[in-house]
Amino acid sequence: MKYNIVENYCVELQNLYSSIQFSLKEDNDFSFFLICYMYKLNQHMNSISKLTPSPDVQLLARTMIETLMQMLWVAHKPEERSSMWRRFVFIDDWYKLQNLLDKGEYVSPEDRITVENAFELVKHEYLTKSKKSIHRDWKKGTKIHEMAKDVKAGELYTVLYSSFSDWVHGGPSSLAYQVEFTDEMELIIGSNVPHFVNASLSAAFQCLYQALQVCTQHFSLGLDEQLKNIYEQYINEMTVESYA
pLDDT for 167-176, tens place per residue? 899 888 888 8
| Residue 16 falls inside a structural domain | yes
* pLDDT tens for each residue of 8-67: 999 999 999 999 999 887 789 999 999 999 999 999 999 999 999 999 999 999 999 999
| Residue 191 falls inside a structural domain | yes
| Residue 96 falls inside a structural domain | no
Distance (Å, whole) CA 135 – CA 127: 6
Nearest to 81, CA basis, from 147, 156, 161: 147
| Residue 213 falls inside a structural domain | yes
| Residue 179 falls inside a structural domain | yes
Q: How many CA atoms lie within 13 A of 77 on its CB side?
A: 8
Its domain, for residue 231, covers 2-78+140-243
| Residue 104 falls inside a structural domain | no
How many domains does the structure of the chain reveal?
1
| Residue 178 falls inside a structural domain | yes
**Confidence label for 242 from pLDDT (cuts 50, 70 and 90):** low
Q: Is 112 helix (H, G, I), strand (E, B) or coil?
A: helix
| Residue 118 falls inside a structural domain | no
